[in-house]
Structure 1
Amino acid sequence: MSLLPRKGLLEIVSPLLQCKRFRGKINLRKPRAPHFERAVYIALTKPYFISPKKGKLPEELCKGPGSTKKDEGDNPFQRIIAQELYKWFTSSRLVVFYHLNPMDSDDQFNAFAMFKKQGMYLRQYGKKTLDMAVRGTPYETVLDFYVSQNMLLFSPQPDIKKVLSITKKFPELILLAAILEGRFISKDELMQYSLIPNLQAAQANFVQTLNTASSLLVNHLNSHQTTLVSHLEERAKQLK
C-alpha cells in the first residue's frame, strides 16, 4: 500500500453531466392539446372583454378625419394663459411671428436674454392657447400660419432695426410676419419699414429743412441791400 501514489487515493473524479429533455424539443408552433381537466380550468379563467364595436352601425364605425379627436374639456389655467396672451397683443405696438427650427437650449436662452435687454419679450405658446386667445378678435388671421413650432415677440416700442439685428444672430428663428401698430404686414414690408428713420430723426430733418429755407429767404432778401451798400462804400472811397 505504501508503494501506491498518494494522489491517486485522494483525487475525486466528478462525472460530466449534460441535461437533455425527454422526447426532444418543445413544439411551440403546434403545442399538444392539454388534458381535459386542465382545458376546463383554462376555459374558465380565460378573460372576457366586451367588444367596443358591439351594437354599432357601419357608419358609426367609419373613422372620419376628426373621429379620433378627444374632447379635453375646459382648462381654467389654459384660459388664464389665453387672456394674458390677448393682453400682450393689445398692449404691444409691434408683434413679430417666428418659425422655430431645432434650437439649442443655450441659444434659446441667449435669444430670450438679448430681447429682454431691449425691452422686448419672446414667448412660445401652443396652437390651442393661441386659438382661445384670438378667436373672434381682429387678430384671428394669425391662426392661418401658426401651424408648427412658432414663437412670438412682443415689443411695446416699434424698434424694427433692433429686432432685425438680434434676429440675424439666431438663424433658427425664421421671420414670418408682424403686426405693426395694429396692421398686419409681411416680412418684406417690415424690411421696408426698417429703412425709415425714427420719429426723432424725421423731426430733426424737418426742422433743419425749415431752417435752411428761412436762411435762404433772408439771404435773398438782403442780397440787394448788401450789394448796394458795398457799392456805395466803394464809390465813397473813390471820391476821397
Structure 2
Amino acid sequence: MESFCHKGLLYIKNIPHLELVRYRRVNVQRPAKPHYEKAKVLAVCEPRYPKFNYGLSPEVTCRKQTELKSKKIKEENPYELIIAKECLHWFNQSKMVAFFHANPIKGEDQFKARVMFHKHNMAIKQYGPNVIKYALENTKYSAVLPLFQSRTAVVFSPELQLAQLLKISKRIPQLILMTCIAEDRLLSRNEIVMYSNLPDLTTARAGLVATLNSAVSQVLSNITHHQRTLVSHLQKHAELLQKPEET
C-alpha cells in the first residue's frame, strides 16, 4: 500500500497543454487582411523580378508599353462628371473657399462640424480625387489640385468670413486649416490670420475718409496760419489805439 501511494499518487504530474479550437470556418477564397504592421513587412518582403524583353527591339518594346498605358486609361464616369460640374459651380459662386486636411473623425463630431458651418452660412464638402480633377483641371483653380492627394475637406462661403472660419477651426481639432481662397487670392495660414484682423470694407472706407479730411483740414490750417495771426495782431493793435481816445 505504501509503495502504491508512493508510486501512483505522489509522483503523478499533471502536465498542462494547449489545445487550439476554431470557432468558425476559415474562408480560403477571401482570407482576412493581415495586421497593418504585418502587411508592411509582407509588402517589403515581396519579391520583385526584373522584366526582360528577350529578342525585342527598343522600338517594339516602347510601342507595347504605350499600348498598355493606353489600355489602362480609365473611362470617364458620367456620375463623376455631374458631381464635378456641381463642384466647379460651388467654386465659382463662393467668395471664400477654405481647404482642410481631414483627419479621422467620428460621425457625431462630423455632424457637429456641419452644423457649426451651416450656422454661419457655410457648406463643408468632400470630393474624390477624380471629381476634383475633372472639375478644376485647366481652370484658374488648378493650383489647389496637389492639396487633394490625401483626404481634404472644402468649405464654401458666399461671404468673406475669415474670423468665423478661424474660430470654428479651433473648435474642430480633426480639421486642420491649410489654405484659403479669398477674393481670388490663395492665402496661407498666416495671411488668413492677418487678413481676419483687418476691419471690414465699410470701416476701412470710413477710416480713409477721416484720414483724408484730417489731412485737408491740416493743410488749410497751415495755409491760413499766417493770415489768421496777422488779423489777430491787427485787432489787438486797433484795440490799443482805441483805448487812449476813450480815456
TM range (shorter): 0.5 to 0.7
Give the match for residue 75 of structure 1: 77
Stretch deviating more after TM superposition (217-226 or 100-109): 217-226
Stretch deviating more after TM superposition (199-208 or 212-221): 212-221
**Aligned partner (choices 224, 230, 233) of residue 229 of structure 2:** 224
SS, match of residue 154 in structure 1: strand
Residue 206 of structure 2 aligns to which amino acid in structure 1? A
Distance in 1 separating the partners of 2:235 and 2:113: 68
Aligned length: 178
Deviations 1:77-134 (A, max 9, x none): 2211110001111121221100012223233222222222222221111222111211
TM normalised by structure 1 equals 0.62
Distance in 1 separating the partners of 2:120 and 2:238: 64
Give the match for residue 213 of structure 2: 211
Q: Does 1:235 align with 2:240?
A: yes
Give the match for residue 180 of structure 1: 182
Shift of 1:179: 1.8
Larger Rg: 1
- Which structure has the highest helix share of the two? 2
**Unaligned 5+ residue runs, structure 1?**
1-56, 60-65
Shift of 1:189: 2.5
Quickly say closer, same or farther: Cα 1:224–1:110, change in 2 above 3 A: farther
Shift of 1:229: 6.4
Within 5 A, what are the aligned runs for 1:153-164? 153-164=155-166
Residue 115 of structure 1 aligns to which amino acid in structure 2? F
Shift of 1:58: 8.2
Stretch deviating more after TM superposition (79-88 or 218-227): 218-227
TM normalised by structure 2 equals 0.61
Overall identity of the aligned pairs, in %: 34
Deviations 1:193-230 (A, max 9, x none): 22332211210111111222233344442642663366
Give the match for residue 64 of structure 2: none
Quickly say closer, same or farther: Cα 1:190–1:212, change in 2 above 3 A: same
**Unaligned 5+ residue runs, structure 2?**
1-50, 54-67
Give the match for residue 148 of structure 1: 150
Residue 82 of structure 2 aligns to which amino acid in structure 1? I
Distance in 2 separating the partners of 1:236 and 1:156: 74
Quickly say closer, same or farther: Cα 1:232–1:170, change in 2 above 3 A: farther
Q: Does 1:92 align with 2:94?
A: yes
Quickly say closer, same or farther: Cα 1:165–1:232, change in 2 above 3 A: farther
Distance in 2 separating the partners of 1:159 and 1:229: 60
